[in-house]
A and B are shown apart, each in its own frame.
Chain A
């Protein structure tokens, strides 16, 4: 029999551990993955050690960027301000360092919330079908029909501008994708015999969903989610840039670019005089998004069952 077919089997490790090691190995094989991982790790370190890298002047409100006077004209990088200053002399370096924490919060929090809402609704719709499915999916369609900016402005009007509104907008409009993806996936496996076998053994709906349906359908959603962390960051930055985000002086990358809006182009004789106000925060945002996208690609390669070994 096929007892010895698995020659690669190493020792007596638990198969789940083996599976994990196998995935990890594939994960690390791709050089682009290493690049993505390095970028994200670097950002994570900056976020964790923010108080050391850029000690706050007011420890109880570290996200408030300290400013050096009220002069409107941004100042180029100097010893005192290694990345220059924004209008009103807000320190760019400080803003970027503490902004990293906000970036992680935005990306992860929003995607996590979207995942939970989307998977829950999609799983219920796909598994139970019928009227339940119809209702949930039509509501999802309604959310698909909502224009991004209009919803964003509506929410800002209601609860005021700030990072919270941006997070809310992206949660309200983000879950719909996951609902559709997981529902489609569940429709594929809902009538497989192992689901019926579980039912024939008396399993409850809850345990069928948790033990059989989700483990076999969640991976496509996880892939979408990992690719979406970067995109979500971009959307948040865009909203901040449009002025729906935080007030001036708050350590949020998008908001920092927004504050520099009037200084993007320099005077006629030196167009690039204020390059640092847009380029440096913009570059950091790009790097962050790139890191997550590379990781997302890697996650797809590893988890996509259709591309896996048999």
Chain B
């Protein structure tokens, strides 16, 4: 991959806190920090894998970008020139925004979109959910399910609409005869195809893949992955592929971001990450991939303890209570993402010593 590809999505300081209210007066007492200050860029036409264990905030982050959850703080730029983003970011960092900047920001930052501009944005960003038996309305015909985004956006009507739906069905490997069926008449893999067809309906630029294969049979997973890969090439789509399945990520993404407790701890090109994992957490994750050859005797890194409570994350490096290499500095100072080679970033104080 060339290094200077354009960014489609630029996430700056994204935060999502869930407030906790307690007592008779529902006083705001604490926050669950599901996503805590994420900076991430997603390049045009790439598939960025986002991995991490359950509850680390992967899905929350994705859904916040899609405006399914409201963000607490941060900005997300969609399809903006880098110069403009830098200019706005500089102003935000300086604080004290004047009215003109605020207006400009509200046009560039999709987290502040409202009403019509938000509806317009919905055409360009779409989502495929984890469990297709949950993401398709059981009382709607496949025809109407796929046509829904087109109808809401008022893009097509009548005969043209039906033709487009058939075209979409064929794109995902189904056919006209499936138009007038209910979701429960399909197998899991077929249902996920329908969900993909719906996501493609409005010709989006970006699709959030929220663990699209983890509810499926292993044999079907491969089919869906291949379909997604094919579609990405054909329609020049950009994916954010959220999953906890590392081999899936290895197969489909060009870059991988590793998330731990609401923060990105490592970001790298896929090959580089699997060959040269730098963060201790990434190493532990990778060592958990089963090796088919028992004689290799690969050493497993077993992490002790559980993911800490995001209500009260550890000070310093969030991974330090479980990290076998933690020292004093890890307990007190929070590491930031720093460059560790070409297109490889890691947030760890001691990566150089361990490399």
Residues of A within 8 A of B (CB): 1-3, 5-6, 14-16, 192-194, 196-203, 207, 211-212, 215-216, 310
- Complex contacts, B182 vs chain A, CB 8 Å: 15
- Complex contacts, A203 vs chain B, CB 8 Å: 148, 152
B56 to A: closest C-beta gap in Å = 20
B151-182: which residues lie under 8 A (CB-CB) from chain A?
A: 152-153, 177-178, 180-182
Please report the C-alpha to C-alpha distance between residue A211 and residue B181 in the assembled complex, in whole angstroms: 17
- Complex contacts, B177 vs chain A, CB 8 Å: 3
- Complex contacts, B180 vs chain A, CB 8 Å: 14-15
B149 contacts A201, CB within 8 Å?
A: yes
A193 contacts B131, CB within 8 Å?
A: yes
Knowing A6-B185, A194-B135, the reply to whether A15 touches B149 (Cβ < 8 A) is no
A15 contacts B129, CB within 8 Å?
A: no
Question: Which of A3, A5, A14, A197 lies in contact with B135, CB distance below 8 A?
Answer: A197
B259 to A: closest C-beta gap in Å = 21
B145 to A: closest C-beta gap in Å = 8
A216 contacts B122, CB within 8 Å?
A: no
A193 contacts B135, CB within 8 Å?
A: yes
- Complex contacts, B137 vs chain A, CB 8 Å: 194, 198, 211-212, 215-216
B187 contacts A2, CB within 8 Å?
A: yes
A-B contact pairs, 28 of them (CB 8 A): A2-B185, A2-B186, A3-B177, A15-B141, A15-B181, A194-B137, A196-B68, A196-B127, A196-B129, A197-B127, A197-B129, A197-B195, A197-B198, A198-B152, A200-B68, A200-B126, A200-B127, A201-B122, A201-B148, A201-B152, A201-B153, A202-B122, A202-B152, A203-B152, A211-B140, A215-B137, A216-B137, A310-B184
Knowing A193-B134, A201-B152, the reply to whether A215 touches B122 (Cβ < 8 A) is no
B151 to A: closest C-beta gap in Å = 9
**B136 at the A interface (CB under 8 A):** yes
- Interchain residue pairs A-B with the least CB separation, the first 7: A193-B135, A202-B122, A201-B149, A202-B119, A193-B129, A194-B137, A193-B134
A1 contacts B129, CB within 8 Å?
A: no
Residues of B within 8 A of A (CB): 63, 66, 68, 118-119, 122-123, 125-127, 129-131, 134-141, 148-149, 152-153, 177-178, 180-182, 184-187, 190, 195, 198, 202
B131 contacts A215, CB within 8 Å?
A: no
- Complex contacts, A197 vs chain B, CB 8 Å: 127, 129, 135, 195, 198
B136 contacts A194, CB within 8 Å?
A: yes
- Complex contacts, A199 vs chain B, CB 8 Å: 68
A1 contacts B181, CB within 8 Å?
A: no
Please report the C-alpha to C-alpha distance between residue A247 and residue B125 in the assembled complex, in whole angstroms: 67
- Complex contacts, A14 vs chain B, CB 8 Å: 180
A33 to B: closest C-beta gap in Å = 24
A216 contacts B138, CB within 8 Å?
A: yes
B47 to A: closest C-beta gap in Å = 19
Count CB-based A-B contacts (< 8 Å).
Answer: 76
B202 contacts A2, CB within 8 Å?
A: no
A1 contacts B187, CB within 8 Å?
A: yes
- Complex contacts, B131 vs chain A, CB 8 Å: 193
Knowing A200-B122, A201-B122, the reply to whether A192 touches B134 (Cβ < 8 A) is yes
A130 to B: closest C-beta gap in Å = 11
Knowing A3-B177, A198-B148, A202-B153, the reply to whether A215 touches B187 (Cβ < 8 A) is no
Given contacts A15-B141, A194-B137, A215-B139, 5 further A-B contacts (CB under 8 A): A193-B129, A197-B129, A197-B135, A200-B125, A212-B137
- Complex contacts, B184 vs chain A, CB 8 Å: 310
B183's nearest neighbour on chain A, judged by CB, is: A194
- Complex contacts, B148 vs chain A, CB 8 Å: 198, 201, 203, 211
B30 to A: closest C-beta gap in Å = 19
A212's nearest neighbour on chain B, judged by CB, is: B137
Interface centre among A16, A197, A216, A310 (most CB of B within 10 A): A197
- Complex contacts, A2 vs chain B, CB 8 Å: 185-187, 190
- Complex contacts, A16 vs chain B, CB 8 Å: 141
- Complex contacts, B153 vs chain A, CB 8 Å: 201-202
Please report the C-alpha to C-alpha distance between residue A14 and residue B195 in the assembled complex, in whole angstroms: 22
A94 to B: closest C-beta gap in Å = 47
Please report the C-alpha to C-alpha distance between residue A144 and residue B125 in the assembled complex, in whole angstroms: 46
Question: Which of B138, B141, B202 lies in contact with A201, CB distance below 8 A?
Answer: B202
Please report the C-alpha to C-alpha distance between residue A310 and residue B186 in the assembled complex, in whole angstroms: 12
A309 to B: closest C-beta gap in Å = 10
Question: Which of B125, B190, B198 lies in contact with A1, CB distance below 8 A?
Answer: B190
- Complex contacts, B138 vs chain A, CB 8 Å: 216
B100 to A: closest C-beta gap in Å = 29
Please report the C-alpha to C-alpha distance between residue A197 and residue B187 in the assembled complex, in whole angstroms: 20
B273 to A: closest C-beta gap in Å = 29
B59 to A: closest C-beta gap in Å = 11
Please report the C-alpha to C-alpha distance between residue A59 and residue B123 in the assembled complex, in whole angstroms: 63
A207 contacts B152, CB within 8 Å?
A: yes
Please report the C-alpha to C-alpha distance between residue A182 and residue B21 in the assembled complex, in whole angstroms: 27
A215's nearest neighbour on chain B, judged by CB, is: B139
A202 contacts B118, CB within 8 Å?
A: yes
Please report the C-alpha to C-alpha distance between residue A202 and residue B130 in the assembled complex, in whole angstroms: 20
Please report the C-alpha to C-alpha distance between residue A3 and residue B180 in the assembled complex, in whole angstroms: 12
Please report the C-alpha to C-alpha distance between residue A201 and residue B207 in the assembled complex, in whole angstroms: 12
Please report the C-alpha to C-alpha distance between residue A235 and residue B134 in the assembled complex, in whole angstroms: 42
Please report the C-alpha to C-alpha distance between residue A269 and residue B66 in the assembled complex, in whole angstroms: 85
B58 to A: closest C-beta gap in Å = 16
A36 to B: closest C-beta gap in Å = 26
Interface centre among B68, B152, B182, B184 (most CB of A within 10 A): B152
B187 contacts A200, CB within 8 Å?
A: no
Please report the C-alpha to C-alpha distance between residue A193 and residue B68 in the assembled complex, in whole angstroms: 11
- Complex contacts, A207 vs chain B, CB 8 Å: 152
Question: Which of B68, B129, B139, B149 lies in contact with A216, CB distance below 8 A?
Answer: B139
